[in-house]
Structure 1
Amino acid sequence: MATEERKARALARLPPRQQIMLRALKFLMAVRHVEIRRRLQPFGYDAATHDQGWRLLHACAGPGPKRAMFAELHAWWDEWAEIAGILITRRDHRRWLGLDESRRPKARTNGN
């Protein structure tokens, strides 16, 4: 069995909340790379967005009620993971054109 297939099976055995935390952690670690961050910037991914991801992940890992935090982390991850996968991992910009408009990150402005 290929390594990627083993990883996918191991991930699938985790409870859903642990799956999203692991995916978010991997994403946040990958986005520390300068080139990856540079490719996401035109879509609004900035230091504040990165910090938001870490805050949500930490909130999910900490004590106390977490249902709302997991929903927020999942929504945050969904927004960025698909576009990052298209732009960075596959480097296939044509796939971007095939994304449903509602799945694309919203353009963000800094108010200027």
Structure 2
Amino acid sequence: MRTRIPVAAVALALVLAACEPRGADVRDARDADAVGTVTSVDDSAGVIAVGFAPDPGYEYFEGTVFDFAAQGALEGPDGEAVTGSDLSVGDRLEVWVEACAESFPVQCPDPVGRVLP
């Protein structure tokens, strides 16, 4: 006897298989959503607010200020935690986001980033 598996069950299994495991770092799982240059740094409000000038091809993020959580959301090239005092205007960043508000500039909650060497 043949058993039929509903199409919805197969689709759900594929979606779940594509999801990252809990605790996985998106920086190791996929390419960055944005690459660009730091234009400003402000860490006075408990987050690291980084002004961002995107490289060509990432213009969607033009004028965006990424608010990185103070702990763990921003790392250096070797994976070490970065603080606001570690960043300078002109540093290069890769940034990962999950969803952004369609505004100008776009607003992307809970980004994670990596300072490029």
Instruction: Say yes or no: TM over 0.5.
Output: no
TM-score, normalised relative to structure 2: 0.30
TM-score, with structure 1 as normaliser:
0.31
Which structure has greater helix proportion? 1
Looking at secondary structure, tell me which structure has more strand per residue: 2
Greater gyration radius: 2
